[in-house]
Amino acid sequence: MSAAFELRGLTAAVPGEKRAIRLVEDVSLSVHAGETLAVVGESGSGKTVTFTSSLGLLPKPGRVIAGEALLEGVDLLKLRPEELRRTRGARIGMVFQDPLTGLNPVFRVSEQITEVLRAHLPISRSAARDRAVELLTRVQIPEAARRVDDYPHQFSGGMRQRVLTAMAIALGPRVLIADEPTTALDVTVQAQMLDLLGDLRDADGMAMVLITHDLGVVARQADRVAVMYAGRIVETGTVAEVFAAPRHPYTISLFRSIPDIEAPTGTRLTPIAGSPPDPARRPEGCAFAPRCFAVSDAAGCRSVRPLLAGVGHAASCHRQSMLETTA
Residues that bind another protein (CB under 8 A): 42-43, 156-159, 186-192, 194, 213-221, 239-240, 243, 253-263, 265-266, 268-273, 275-276, 291
In the bound state with another protein, the residue whose beta carbon lies nearer, of 129 and 160, is: 160
In the bound state with another protein, the residue whose beta carbon lies nearer, of 55 and 185, is: 185
In the bound state with another protein, the residue whose beta carbon lies nearer, of 43 and 325, is: 43
Please state the closest distance from residue 65 (CB atom) to another protein, in A: 27
In the β-sheet with 224-229, what is the strand arrangement from edge to edge? Answer: 92-95, 175-179, 207-212, 36-40, 224-229, 232-238, 314-315
Nearest-angstrom CA–CA distance, 99 and 87: 23
Please state the closest distance from residue 224 (CB atom) to another protein, in A: 11
Please state the closest distance from residue 232 (CB atom) to another protein, in A: 17
Please state the closest distance from residue 192 (CB atom) to another protein, in A: 7
In the bound state with another protein, the residue whose beta carbon lies nearer, of 30 and 192, is: 192
Nearest-angstrom CA–CA distance, 9 and 24: 10
In the bound state with another protein, the residue whose beta carbon lies nearer, of 67 and 181, is: 181
In the bound state with another protein, the residue whose beta carbon lies nearer, of 38 and 128, is: 38
Q: Are 60 and 142 in contact (CB under 8 A)?
A: no
Q: CB pairs under 8 A, 24+ apart, for 14-23? A: 14/61, 14/62, 14/63, 15/61, 16/280, 20/65, 21/279, 21/280, 22/65, 22/231, 22/279, 23/49, 23/53, 23/62, 23/231, 23/279
In the bound state with another protein, the residue whose beta carbon lies nearer, of 56 and 290, is: 290
Residue-wise burial string across 118-134, b where 16 or more C-beta atoms lie within 10 A, e elsewhere: eeeeeeeeeebbebbbe
Please state the closest distance from residue 121 (CB atom) to another protein, in A: 32
Please state the closest distance from residue 177 (CB atom) to another protein, in A: 20
Q: Are 97 and 179 in contact (CB under 8 A)?
A: yes
In the bound state with another protein, the residue whose beta carbon lies nearer, of 117 and 139, is: 139
Please state the closest distance from residue 292 (CB atom) to another protein, in A: 12
Give 67-108 as a DSSP string: EEEEETTEEGGGS-HHHHHHHHHHHEEEE-S-TTTTS-TTS-
Please state the closest distance from residue 230 (CB atom) to another protein, in A: 13
In the bound state with another protein, the residue whose beta carbon lies nearer, of 43 and 126, is: 43
Please state the closest distance from residue 294 (CB atom) to another protein, in A: 15
Give SS3 for 273.
Answer: coil
Orientation angle between helical segments 125-138 and 109-120, nearest 10 degrees: 110
Nearest-angstrom CA–CA distance, 71 and 291: 36
Give SS3 for 321.
Answer: helix
